[in-house]
Structure 1
Amino acid sequence: MKQQILVIGAGFGGMWSALSAVRLVELQGRDDIEVSVLAPQAELRVRPRFYEPNAHHLVAPLHELFDVVGVHFIKGAAETIDVAAKAVGYIDASGAQKIFNYDKLVLAAGSSLARSDTPGVSQYAFDVDQIEAAIRLETHLKALENLPDSKARNTVVVAGGGFTGIETATEMPARLREIFGEQAEVNVIIVDRGQKIGMVMGEEISKSIAAASDELGVEWRLGVSVQAVDANGVTLSDGQHIEAKTVVWTTGVRASSLTEQIPAERDKQGRLHVDAHLKVVGQDDIFATGDVAYAATDDIGNYALMTCQHAISLGRHAGNNVAARILGVDPTPYSQPKYVTCLDLGAWGAVYTEGWDRQVKLVKQEGKNLKTQINTQWIYPPAADRAIALAAADPLIPVVA
């Protein structure tokens, strides 16, 4: 009977974990280990792009890739993890409850926007966290054309001035004018608790964010927060009410609740503490990767963020190392000291930075060219060719050079 490696999740961390595990098994010439992926769909949903229009196109099918490399795909949603029994309970495609028994587990269940308890958010606000939510927002935006012209109709409030909030807001003027016409008076407002535009991103990059916001007409309301959302807009912490038919919530992300079923330490975002090999601390048979892993990227105190940049490398390492544990070969310690950002700023362009202090290297069109390359090429799955796909899963390949 084959030993079973189960990967929960088919996102960046899960897909690369599966490919990397198969790669090492093949390199060791073994045929007694099976790698399975359990996920609701065999597709990579390109989440970093959900702020863009046409979200329904932002998926990459994985069936052919999994087939060609020999990954067993299980269509279903994981619900329970029984650590003692080494069993995962899931609901299959037909709605039936099933059990999968594993020898080693890689948890790559991702993260989601933490539901805010701010009054009105659940009823009236939109988000771009998952593809269904991004499609819902797009459907809503297109339907605005059928409403009478008004300031509220033409106004979008984005709650949160972090990465997602900025990319969503700076893309929004073009999206609205595509619907209402190029001459339409549109209003996009970012509400942020910070005291300076884009300060959560760092001092140097904030200059580019401010310049782009000014050119695009994106307004910032600083030092305040959204206290309530209603059908006609938002009420801010200073008592002001902004009329808007569209409110996009972008603050607060939390790791999958499946992490809570594993007896182990978690950080404030619910991520499992892992060792240098991405094995969950205190668990011999469970690895965590992607957005559910609290992993040190270097030896100077930096930790992986909930980004595809980190999830790709984390996945390659987790898959390699879970296979290494079964095979009895040396694992490859996770290390990702180089950190970069490439922030899309709509029609203004983009800004590319290097280092944890975000030193600006490229702006405007040069930055946009790189962002386009990242979004349309670098983060997509490898070709459905066994040799190419497995070579790409080598954990020693840097995500950014």
Structure 2
Amino acid sequence: MRLVIIGAGFAGMYAALSAARLRDIQGVSPRDLEIALVAPEPTLVVRPRLYEQKPETLTAPLQEVLKAIDVVYVQGSAETVDTKSRMVDICDAKGAKTSLSYDRLVVATGSRLFRPNIPGLAEHAFSVDQLDDAIALDRHLHSLTERPARNGRDTVVVAGGGFTGIETATEMPARLRSIFGNSAKLRVVIVDRNNAIAPDMGAGPRPVIEGALRKLGVETRLGAGVASLDKTGVTLTSGEHIEAETVIWAAGMRAAPLTAQIPAERDSFGRLLVDRDLRVPGVPGVFATGDAARAACDDVGNYALMSCQHAVRMGAFAGNNAAAELLGVAPKHYHQEVYATCLDLGEAGAIFTRGWDRKLELVGGEAKKTKQQINTVWIYPPQAKRAAALASADPERVGEV
């Protein structure tokens, strides 16, 4: 029997850990149930931190962890999935192609930044979506020192006032000062079509976020979107033109394209609709998890967000349940009633909220300590020691806050 997991992000990593954990509990040999993880590199990209400086350091190796738990790593990108023949076609970095059969499949392919067809966006905008994107932005920022301090050289426009946009914008003043020096006349502007910053955060935390933006000197342009970009900067739908040599797009996510190959229903974000066991209805043998899945968290109408917090727990349930079907064990229904948000606000600290209504619990320095603990410890892979790695993947305990 073979269980194939596509993706080495947070959901894919925990799917592998959890499936191996159940296999171990049931006393089944890796020869009798092979668990294979397919990804371009045996590396976890710590994506929630890509707004920070030195993004090339924000990865964690997975090879030794996978070896410790007897998970086979298959290097390459999954190009096609045939759910009728239960085959995955894989292409490696050199263009060589192989096929891998599966008895159960976990789709953990994550998400990608949504880039609409705005004139100049593809040519002139940066992002912090993927590792290569964040590295390109960092190199661009450092290259600006070779240009004269005019024509928007020291201006950064961030398109998107959600979580990623706010964390990117509030980190930017310190990043720019480290490059240009304390005397530079920095300007950071957030642009968002909504009439309020952080629309998903609600009225409780918003005054703290607005205060942090004022403290850092971050401007906002609300109720306006990006109409076009060119080498001089960005033109808004309001007609305003902002001179800027750096525009960062941080507005919207979509499930990775591979989900479109699964013959099943998807939501407006491209996520596969799944049942409470994270199966894809109508497609035997296929599970979806993390940003690739739209899953109910509870019985009162809350659904998993495209976030690391949900991905790790969803991954653990998906891996467990895919292995459970093969081993004849009862599945565990995915649930995640507890939800917390920790939003970085750069040198202004952070905020920590709990619950779907986002009740504010910590602000400033105390919240910043929690954010640093999350970013540098909690979301990293477990130690490459079999017992500890397997213990970390109990679905009922993963992702608790």
If the length of structure 1 is used for normalisation, what is the TM-score? Answer: 0.98
Cα distance change, pair 260–312 in 1 and its aligned pair in 2 (3 A)? same
Comparing 118-127 with 147-156, which one deviates more in the overlay? 147-156
Q: What is the aligned partner in structure 2 of residue 37 from structure 1?
A: 37
Counterpart of 1:18 in structure 2 is: 16
Tell me which residue corresponds to 1:88: 88
What does 1:59-70 correspond to in 2, within 5 Å?
Answer: 59-70=59-70
Match of 1:161 in 2: 161
After superposition, residues 175-186 of structure 1 pair within 5 angstroms as 175-186=175-186
- Give the secondary structure class of the aligned counterpart of 2:76: strand
1:212-251 matches, within 5 Å, as: 212-251=212-251
Q: Any stretches of 5+ residues in structure 2 without a counterpart?
A: none
Q: Is the 8 A contact 1:198 1:210 kept in 2?
A: no
- In the TM superposition, what is the alpha-carbon distance from 1:151 to its structure 2 partner? 5.2
Report the Cα distance in structure 2 between the residues aligned to 1:398 and 1:385, rounded to whole angstroms. 18
Q: What does 1:112-261 correspond to in 2, within 5 Å? A: 112-150=112-150, 152-261=152-261
| Displacement of 1:22 | 0.7
Measure, in 2, the Cα distance between the counterparts of 1:284 and 1:148.
60
CA distance in structure 1 between the partners assigned to 2:49 and 2:151 by the alignment: 28
Query: Equivalents in 1 of 2:278, 2:211: separation in Å?
Result: 40
Corresponding residue of 2:391: 391
1: CA distance, partners of 2:11 / 2:90? 20
Q: Are the equivalent residues in 1 in contact too, given 2:155–2:243 (CA < 8 A)?
A: yes
Which is further off, 93-102 or 31-40? 93-102
Instruction: Check whether the contact 2:278–2:317 (CA below 8 A) recurs between aligned residues.
Output: yes
Q: How many residue pairs get matched? A: 399
Residue type at the aligned position of 1:189: V
Superposition pairs for residues 360-399 of structure 1, below 5 Å?
360-399=360-399
| Matched residue, 2:48 | 48
Would you say the 8 A contact 2:6–2:78 is kept in 1?
A: yes
CA contact (8 A) 1:352 1:361 kept: yes
For 1:201, what is the secondary structure of its paired residue? coil
Could you tell me how far 1:93 is from its partner in structure 2?
3.8
Where in structure 1 do 4 or more consecutive aligned residues deviate above 6 Å?
none
CA contact (8 A) 1:158 1:165 kept: yes
Within 1, Cα distance between the matches of 2:199 and 2:133?
A: 27
Relative to structure 2, which stretch is displaced further, 247-256 or 88-97? 88-97
**Cα shift at 1:184:** 1.4
Name the CA distance, whole Å, in 2 between partners of 1:385 and 1:68. 6
**Which has the larger displacement, 92-101 or 151-160?**
92-101
- Mapped partners of 1:316, 1:196: distance in 2: 35
TM-score by length of 2: 0.98
Instruction: State the SS of the aligned residue for 2:200.
Output: helix
Q: Secondary structure at the match of 1:319?
A: helix
Distance 1:377 1:179 in 2: 28
Give 1:200 shift: 3.3
User: Per-residue displacement from partner, 1:167-206 (whole Å, max 9, x unpaired)?
Assistant: 0000000000101101211000000112123333211111
Amino acid at match of 2:13: M
Map Cα deviations across residues 51-104 of structure 1 (whole Å, 9 max, x no partner): 000000000000111111110000000010001000001102431111101110
CA distance in 2, matches of 1:333, 1:135: 39
Contact 2:53 2:175 in 1 (8 A): yes
Question: Which residue matches 1:268?
Answer: 268
Q: Superposition pairs for residues 312-331 of structure 1, below 5 Å?
A: 312-331=312-331
The percentage of counterpart residues that share the same residue type is: 54
User: Are the aligned partners of 1:88 and 1:100 in contact in 2 as well (CA < 8 Å)?
Assistant: yes
**How many angstroms does 1:284 deviate by?**
2.0
